[in-house]
Amino acid sequence: MIFDYFLHTRNNEHPGLNNYRKPRHIYYLYNPLTPKTGMPYCSNCGSQIVAGSKFCSNCGAPQQTTPPQPTTAPAPQQPQPQGEPIQAYIQQCKYGFPVNTFTLFVTNRRIIAAKTGGLGANFAAAGAASGGIIGGLIGAGIDARATGGMNKKTLEYSQLTPDQMISRDKKNFEIPLPSVQSVEMKQPGFIGQGEIKFITPGKDHKFMLDVSKEIFAQYIPMLQGILPGRVYVK
């Protein structure tokens, strides 16, 4: 350490230097910024200099300046999908064999069937419709858990683009709106399920809905607005 070395030299090896004035820069070699003012000092002569100066105004010695920190450009945002917004969705649709639960997402181009539940969700309807206290309690308990899971997955799907929805699960598929020849809707009965059947060339897509009459009734005008003249209610 330079400061300690200077004192040792003065007191022992060069007694005649006892009255020698200590050079000011000794005091600033290890503290270029004073805690009171925060102003920097020259590393050569100890004179106070303006922050960011490349040279000392007193002795002209070059000063070490902190290089400017590179600024990080913000990450480019992913463009939001345009031209195919989700206009509506229908939850708790049973489809296929073995039966799985789907949410139907309706855009201005197609209907996307996204799987939101497996066989466990379908035991709820069976338990509730089987009658009896035990069957009703089992059905209600399973239905509460299944419905909660489906709502969560529906929310997750809603954050994706339509193409991402389809690729999310191998059981997911789409029904292009121009291919729909007609839609047959059967309202749920006292204990029965509602039904929505999309008739397309070569294949019909029939979905069974475990919803109340009030909820099912909301789907009718929605589909009639998207597929005018092709929706028939039984």
pLDDT score at 102: 95
pLDDT score at 172: 97
pLDDT score at 150: 56
The string of pLDDT tens digits covering residues 58-79 is 787 777 766 556 666 665 554 4
Report the mean per-residue pLDDT for the chain: 74
The string of pLDDT tens digits covering residues 99-108 is 999 999 999 9
Q: DSSP secondary-structure letter at 62?
A: B
Domain regions of the chain by residue span? 1-63, 88-233
More confident residue, 221 or 150: 221
If one counts every other C-beta atom within 10 angstroms of the C-beta of residue 187, the result is 16
pLDDT score at 146: 45
Give yes or no for a contact between 154 and 89, defined as CB atoms under 8 angstroms apart: yes
The string of pLDDT tens digits covering residues 158-176 is 999 999 999 999 999 999 9
Residue 65 exposed, middle or buried by CB count within 10 Å (0-12, 13-18, 19+): exposed
The string of pLDDT tens digits covering residues 89-138 is 999 999 988 899 999 999 999 999 999 987 654 444 444 444 443 343 33
Tell me yes or no: is domain 88-233 CATH 3.40.800.10: no
Give yes or no for a contact between 93 and 154, defined as CB atoms under 8 angstroms apart: no
pLDDT score at 70: 62
Give yes or no for a contact between 181 and 197, defined as CB atoms under 8 angstroms apart: no
More confident residue, 190 or 15: 190
Q: CA 94, CA 114: separation in Å to the nearest integer? A: 11
In this predicted structure, the answer to whether residue 50 has a pLDDT above a threshold of 70 is: yes
Handedness of CA 120, 123, 125, 131 (dihedral sign): negative
